[in-house]
Chain A
Amino acid sequence: MKKNFLFFGLLSLFAGCADDDLPKYTLLEDQRILAMIVDTPEVSAGSTVDLSVLTSDVKGRARTYSLEGCLDPGVGLGAEPTCSGNPTRTVISTGNISNGNAGNDYTAVENAITVTIPSAGVMFTNPLTGSPRSSADQYNGVAYLLIYEMTASDGAKERSFKRVIVSTKGTKNTNPSATQMNYNGVNVTTPPTLVASAVPLRMVVATNQAESYSVQSANGSLSTQTEELLVTWYVTSGEPKRSRTNINTDNTYTPSDTLPANLTIVGVLRDDRGGVDVRIGRL
């Protein structure tokens, strides 16, 4: 039945007609949370991790945040991503968002917040059923949910969440690391000149950054899988041709008709297991 939903959803692309007047994913024009990065995306129970959040609000509003944590209620199964009513809920931190300013288009990574992951007794016991998670679940990882809420001075809110994977696995996931992000073939760390024509964007990543890892099935057998790395692009004006690209693949950036005084380009590199790296270019 699931395949039917998917299939008919795809067919509706043919059957339905809608004018695409909706906002573009890539354009930073309102308050956004772009990435949540923990220094170690997969840990053992009882560890501590540092969480950094990449936020943006080109409107330059004063903003506050709150961070809370709880055991994953089953978001991947359809549960609402909230810690409300969850017996493991913990308020971790609240404060002001401080790193945004006009010079960086109010788009920056905030200072790290340290989070302590609960013990194995808490992580590997379902708080609602009181029974333990299966050994396969413990090996593959159980998620500890970090929910970050950002509130602008006019009351507008944005919420985001990240799963810190808590597992018994020996070799744990690490964040991928991009070599560099290029604008028109030039590394953005040495700001290239903004040009009025379409130019390539590319995230350069060493191919060994895609890790192989093992997955345990319900019967205890192990299989090996390999991460797939994907880059998400954001800009403060103009338009990348694609919102996501594979690594080491060109995306085409087309500037707006009137060149802005400043352009911020953000590339977020994700593996498909919660590992993240971020590159920001300011032109």
Chain B
Amino acid sequence: MNILVCVKQAPEPEAAIEIDEASRWVRVRGDSLPRMGRFDECALEQALICKEQVPGTTVDAITVGNSAGAAVVRRALGMGADRGMHVLTRDEGYVSAFTTASRIARAVQDRSYDLVLTGVVSDDLGQGLVGPMLAEMLSFVCATSCVSLRVDTQQAIAVVEREMEHGITQCVELALPALVSVQSSANRPRYPSLSNIMRANREELETFACAAFEESSHAEELVRLDHPRRTRSVVFLQGSVEDKAKELLSLLRGRSLLR
């Protein structure tokens, strides 16, 4: 079985982000480094579990982005992916999901994958679009937000549980080839192993030059960035930890919330 996992790096969720007026994008304050998205790691982990369960399975990891993106592919190799692919762009900042999905589809158009896995959303843009768009472009059946995946290569099916609202999951059987976007679950992503890291650092990534992408007729354009609207006007308590605790207790008693 051939599996493709789409990965991307993003600032870690706790990183301090500020708007950069000059570039009309953001910059990260402080020294945190970008890392593989949380759900991309889950997708990769799921691929590696499939590889362990089905002999003869290869796992390719692909990213789309500028040269800094190679690091996330090497991370995927470190975790156990077999081959790394990098669609090299010069993009900085906001890129339409349609463009990203198209670039992946174009890169793999002559390959034959049984299963494509993506994270349900990325940590930076959080759109949840690239996976299902890519499925449509590849003409693969698609299931998103999956918390479990079981592949039966004999029957050429994948059985997934899609997580919905209110604690309900929908169990679906998909005919391969399929695209599955992965939601977090009890499968904790593994750490890269030392031998895999060494191999990853030596490995040649397959790099795809990105021809200037023709402007598609259906496009989104970033007009501006802003800070989110508040739904409540916060009052920050001041002073030491002790002062703030005392003040909060007094506030809560005043509101009859504390006995």
Do these two chains interact? no
Chain A residues at the B interface, C-beta cutoff of 8 Å: none
Chain B residues at the A interface, C-beta cutoff of 8 Å: none
